[in-house]
Amino acid sequence: EDSHPTLADVARAEKAAYDAIAEEGVRHYERACEEYEVEYSAWENEQAKSASTKSNQQILDRRLASKDRRPIIANTLFNKVVRLSGDAVTKHKKTYKYWFVLTYIPDLQWCRLAPMFQDGFHGEERKKSAGRPKWKLVDEKVGHEIDISAEVCTVVKSKALRKTADADMEEWDIIDDDIVDGDGDGNNEYA
């Protein structure tokens, strides 16, 4: 008998791994919802107690009159380059080191990531990037995009160099702590 796994066996094993990651994301989301409900309930009770002393309009007027008018900025991962952390590293790092955030859903803390690959090095025409690896998106036809919790995504300092509207045509210079000039030859290698 042939003891090698079939393609269907391999596909089921890969799907099971993704299902486990998705289940962990769902559990994380449910815990976050429970925490939110508790905090929101406490906030509502606090607001009900203070309603007798101040109206919402008074609070709003005071904030508008204040010099501290910092905008509320939503934490966004959209169009960022990220590395994976936690259990996701062992699952995906062996194949790809960096990922590009195609879609970010803040309410769910969920991302759709496209893997990136090194495509040579930046030349002398890019003075600040010269000698560093050039990164591009893996073709979407390969089908390696993943949906994953934003909790395991760590933003990496990067710069889109071609400034194209189409991410598939873009090239990135990634400035990461793991990139070093280990042998002093002026060429950057990975630690």
Sequential DSSP letters for 30-70:
HHHHHHHHHHHHHHHHHHHHHTTT--HHHHHHHHHHSS---
- pTM score: 0.54
Interatomic CA distance for residues 14 and 144, integer angstroms:
12
Q: What is the pLDDT of residue 44?
A: 82
Q: What is the pLDDT of residue 189?
A: 41
What ranges make up the beta strands (E) of the chain? 81-84, 99-105, 110-121, 133-137, 146-149, 153-155, 157-160, 172-175, 179-180, 189-190
Q: Is 60 exceeded by the pLDDT of residue 30?
A: yes
